[in-house]
């Protein structure tokens, strides 16, 4: 039994429902951010991230910095690309477009390849683009939270390596890390940026990322100073004194900007829970839950925004509403039944669909019944709205 006050199940695609032990870790007594106790926790947390991202390469560098997922975009845009350098952005929705905007804000010359609504840009188009110009970075959103479209990271990264091996492959994993398979070393990724509040299952407030040795070299070899102070990777790295992230991992006190000890404790607890079981099992559970959701939704006669099964994320499901039923008809009815879904945010179809997040404890904790409750609530709420399957 959860010790949390009774509340509607938060089944939006992040923040997600949190485990009791994770939330209780936020209540840790106050510690010095350079004291031995906290530094040991932070160091262990960084090492746990190597396991989660599946990297054993000592050149890989984890970062945990106070901020939200968007700060990961700034880390990439401010540090890996110099003004005027080319960036190729593969967009599968709102968040791919946002990454492109962030890159432009720091002066990158951005080319964006858009998938159709609910689909991905095609690999041959990406290959053609890479053959036409030299790109410093390619960015891809692993799961675009606006559409629930999953990108084919493994084959995409392999194709980039073949056509343009010097291009850094950067992944927005905000809605995929800890629920979708992601093998940093094996797939040859150069950067994955994510956040605490989705499948990792820790309250919002942490930008979490992993960069390859190649990315770190690119940062060291910049000709221009990054146009940021807080998000300058040089200030968190060994080129700078003190080498904040490396010192923490070596359990040595360090300071650049004050971390949140309570959030780091919560992240530490969440990562220990995740790593207590094989990652493959966790990914499989997310697949099974997602399959069940998608089958029930299509059996109800509804359409999924990510139209092809191979493009569908296992973190969430974006569901088109039946004609004549609007978001304000459905969401309050779901709330009355104890379920919170999110509305749509894609610029072309925002009013026509809702989003159901099924990540983290909702998918893997057998004592929870979020998914069954949500599917039943959806069915009942639609019936109340007068919906009948055609």
Ligand X SMILES: Cc1ncc(COP(=O)(O)O)c(C=O)c1O
- Annotated binding residue at 355? yes
Give the up-direction half-sphere exposure of residue 2: CA atoms within 13 A in the CB hemisphere. Answer: 18
The region of 49-57, 172-180, 324-332, 335-343 touching ligand X under the rule CB under 6 A is 172-180
Minimum distance between the CB of residue 339 and ligand X, rounded to whole angstroms? 19
Q: What single DSSP character describes residue 59?
A: T
Give the nearer residue to ligand X in terms of CB position, either 34 or 327: 327
Give the nearer residue to ligand X in terms of CB position, either 206 or 302: 206
* Integer Cα distance of 286 and 200 in angstroms: 13
200 forms part of the interface with ligand X (CB under 6 A):
no
141 forms part of the interface with ligand X (CB under 6 A):
yes
Residues 29-88 that bind ligand X (CB under 6 A): 68-70
The region of 127-135, 168-176, 184-192, 229-237 touching ligand X under the rule CB under 6 A is 168-176
Residue in the shown chain whose Cβ atom is closest to ligand X: 69
* Integer Cα distance of 97 and 91 in angstroms: 6
Q: Which residue has the tokens 């606006």?
A: 146
Minimum distance between the CB of residue 214 and ligand X, rounded to whole angstroms? 22
Partners of 194 in the β-ladder: 208
The region of 167-175, 241-249, 252-260, 326-334 touching ligand X under the rule CB under 6 A is 167-175
147 forms part of the interface with ligand X (CB under 6 A):
no
Give the nearer residue to ligand X in terms of CB position, either 15 or 242: 15
Minimum distance between the CB of residue 46 and ligand X, rounded to whole angstroms? 20
Among 39, 171, 195, 244, binds ligand X (CB under 6 A): 195
The DSSP annotation for 214-243 comes to HHHHHHHT-SS--S-STT-GGGGSTTSSS-
How do beta strands 149-150 and 143-144 pair? Answer: antiparallel
Close Cβ partners of 384 (under 8 Å, ≥ 6 residues apart): 333
Contact 244, 62 (CB under 8 A): no
Close Cβ partners of 372 (under 8 Å, ≥ 6 residues apart): none
- The CA dihedral of 154, 157, 162, 168, to the nearest 10 degrees, is -160
Minimum distance between the CB of residue 176 and ligand X, rounded to whole angstroms? 8
Minimum distance between the CB of residue 96 and ligand X, rounded to whole angstroms? 8
95 forms part of the interface with ligand X (CB under 6 A):
yes
- Could you tell me where the DSSP H helices lie in the chain? 20-25, 36-53, 70-79, 94-105, 123-132, 153-163, 213-220, 244-249, 261-275, 279-299, 327-336, 361-364, 370-384
Give the nearer residue to ligand X in terms of CB position, either 43 or 96: 96
97 forms part of the interface with ligand X (CB under 6 A):
no
Give the nearer residue to ligand X in terms of CB position, either 14 or 261: 14
Residue numbers in the known binding site are 355
Residue numbers in the known binding site for substrate are 355
| Residues in contact with ligand X by the rule CB under 6 A | 14, 68-70, 95, 141, 144-145, 172, 174-175, 195
């Amino acid at each position: 039994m959860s010790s949390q006050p009774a509340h509607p199940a938060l089944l939006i695609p992040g923040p997600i429902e949190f485990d009791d032990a994770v939330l209780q870790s936020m209540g840790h007594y106050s510690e010095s951010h350079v004291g031995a106790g906290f530094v040991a926790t932070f160091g262990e947390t960084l090492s746990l991230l190597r396991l989660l991202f599946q990297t054993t390469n000592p050149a890989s560098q984890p970062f945990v910095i106070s901020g939200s997922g968007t700060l990961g975009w700034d880390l990439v845009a401010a540090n890996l690309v110099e003004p005027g350098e080319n960036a190729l952005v593969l967009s599968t929705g709102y968040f791919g477009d946002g990454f492109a905007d962030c890159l432009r804000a720091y002066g990158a010359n951005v080319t964006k390849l858009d998938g159709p609504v609910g689909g991905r840009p095609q690999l041959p188009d990406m290959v053609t683009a890479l053959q036409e110009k030299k790109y410093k970075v390619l960015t891809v959103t692993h799961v675009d939270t606006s559409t629930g479209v999953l990108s084919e990271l493994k084959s995409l990264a392999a194709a980039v390596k073949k056509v343009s091996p010097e291009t850094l492959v950067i992944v927005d994993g905000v809605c995929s890390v800890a629920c979708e398979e992601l093998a940093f070393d094996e797939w040859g990724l150069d950067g994955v940026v994510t956040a605490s509040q989705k499948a990792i299952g820790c309250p919002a407030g942490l930008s979490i990322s992993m960069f390859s040795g190649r990315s770190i070299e690119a940062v060291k070899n910049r000709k221009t100073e990054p146009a940021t102070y807080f998000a300058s990777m040089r200030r968190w790295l060994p080129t700078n004194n003190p080498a904040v992230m490396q010192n923490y991992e070596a359990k040595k006190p360090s300071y650049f900007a004050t971390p949140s000890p309570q959030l780091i404790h919560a992240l530490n607890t969440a990562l220990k829970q995740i790593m207590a079981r094989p990652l493959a099992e966790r990914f499989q559970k997310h697949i099974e839950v997602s399959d069940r959701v998608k089958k029930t939704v299509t059996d109800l006669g509804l359409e999924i925004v990510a139209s092809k099964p191979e493009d569908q994320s296992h973190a969430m499901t974006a569901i088109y509403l039946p004609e004549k039923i609007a978001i304000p008809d459905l969401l309050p009815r779901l709330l009355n039944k104890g379920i919170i879904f999110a509305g749509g945010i894609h610029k072309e179809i925002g009013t026509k669909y809702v989003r159901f997040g099924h990540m983290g404890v909702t998918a893997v904790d057998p004592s929870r019944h979020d998914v069954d409750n949500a599917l039943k609530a959806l069915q009942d709420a639609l019936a109340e709205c007068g919906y009948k399957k055609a």
